Chains A and B, each alone.
Chain A
Amino acid sequence: MNKVRKIFSSQHSFFITTPAIIWQSLFLWVPLLFLFVASFLHIQEHGARFTLTHYLHIFNWEHIIVVMRSLGLAFFNASVCLIIAYPVAYFLACNLKRGKNIALFFLTLPFWINFLVHVYSWFFLLEHNGLINRLLMQLGVIKQPLHLMNSLAAVMIVMFHGYLPFMILPLYTILQKLDKRLIEASLDLGATRSYTFFNLVLPLSYSGALSGFFLVFVLTFGEFVIPSLLGGGKTLFVGTLISEYFLAIRNTAQGAAFTFLSAGMLIMALFGSYLLLTRLIKGKK
Chain B
Amino acid sequence: MNKLYSIFTVRFVIILFWITVIAAFLFSSVLPSYFATPAQSINVYTWVDIVDEEAVAAFEKETGIKVHLSYYEHNQELLAKFQLTGGKDYDLVMISDYMIEFLIHQGLIKPLRKDAFQHWDLIEERLLNHPFDPHNSYSIPLFWDLYGIGYNKKLVGQQGLPVRSWQLIFDPAFANQRISMVDEANEAIMIAAQYLYGNVMQLSPEQQEAVKKLLIEQKPRVEAYTDLRAGYLLLSGAISMAVGQSAFVCKAIEADPATFGFMVPDEGSFMVIDSMVIPAASTKDALVYQFINFIFAREIMRKVINKFAYLPVRTDLLQEMHLACVGNAQQIIDYLKKAKLFVPIISREAISHLWMEVKAY
Contact = CB atoms under 8 A, between A and B. Distances in A.
B58 interface: no
Interface stretch (B255-263, B314-322, B352-360): B352-360
B11 interface: yes
Given A18-B15, A234-B219, A127 B236 contact: yes
Interface string A1-45: 001100110110011001100110010000000000000000000
A175 B359 CA distance: 43
Contacts of B297: none
A18 B21 CA distance: 12
What DSSP secondary structure best describes chain B's contact surface? helix
A282 interface: no
A251 to B, nearest CB: 8
Given A129-B236, A234-B224, A18 B14 contact: yes
A109 B8 CA distance: 48
A248 B83 CA distance: 12
A236 B359 contact: yes
Contacts of A249: 352
A18 B183 CA distance: 46
Interface stretch (B45-53, B73-81, B108-116): B73-81
B18 A18 contact: yes
A232 B352 contact: no
B80 A246 contact: yes
Given A62-B360, A147-B238, A234-B225, A250 B80 contact: yes
Nearest to A128: B238
B237 interface: yes
Nearest to A254: B352
Most buried by B among A14, A246, A249: A249
A248 B77 CA distance: 7
B355 to A, nearest CB: 9
A234 B222 contact: yes
A235 interface: yes
Contacts of B19: 22, 26
Contacts of B6: 3-4, 7
A63 interface: yes
A258 to B, nearest CB: 11
Contact of A147 (B223, B226, B360): B223
Given A7-B10, A26-B22, A235 B223 contact: no
Contact of A250 (B10, B15, B79, B236): B79
Given A62-B356, A147-B178, A149-B238, A22 B79 contact: no
A272 interface: no
B76 A248 contact: yes
B15 A150 contact: no
B361 interface: yes
Q: Size band of the B side of the interface? A: 35 or more
Given A128-B236, A150-B223, A234-B222, A62 B357 contact: yes
A185 interface: no
A233 B361 contact: no
Contact of B10 (A8, A23, A147): A8
B7 interface: yes
Contacts of A4: 6, 10
A129 B224 contact: no
B361 to A, nearest CB: 7
A145 interface: yes
Contact of A23 (B3, B22, B225): B22
A137 interface: no
Interface string B222-245: 111110000001001110000000
Interface in B317-361: 352, 356-357, 359-361
A14 B8 CA distance: 11
A66 interface: yes
A15 B14 contact: yes
A236 B361 CA distance: 8
A83 interface: no
A187 interface: no
A65 B360 contact: yes
A182 interface: no
B83 A250 contact: yes
A189 B278 CA distance: 81
Contacts of B15: 18, 22
Contacts of A147: 178, 223, 238
A247 interface: yes
Nearest to B75: A248
Given A7-B6, A233-B183, A248-B74, A150 B224 contact: yes
A246 B357 CA distance: 18
Nearest to B185: A248
Contacts of A61: 360
A110 to B, nearest CB: 26
Contacts of B359: 233-236
Nearest to B224: A232
Interface of A: 3-4, 7-8, 10-11, 14-15, 18-19, 22-23, 26, 61-63, 65-66, 127-129, 145, 147, 149-150, 232-236, 246-251
10 contacts: A63-B356, A65-B361, A66-B360, A232-B223, A233-B183, A233-B359, A247-B80, A248-B76, A249-B352, A250-B79
Given A3-B6, A150-B238, 6 more contacts: A4-B6, A7-B7, A11-B7, A129-B236, A145-B238, A233-B226
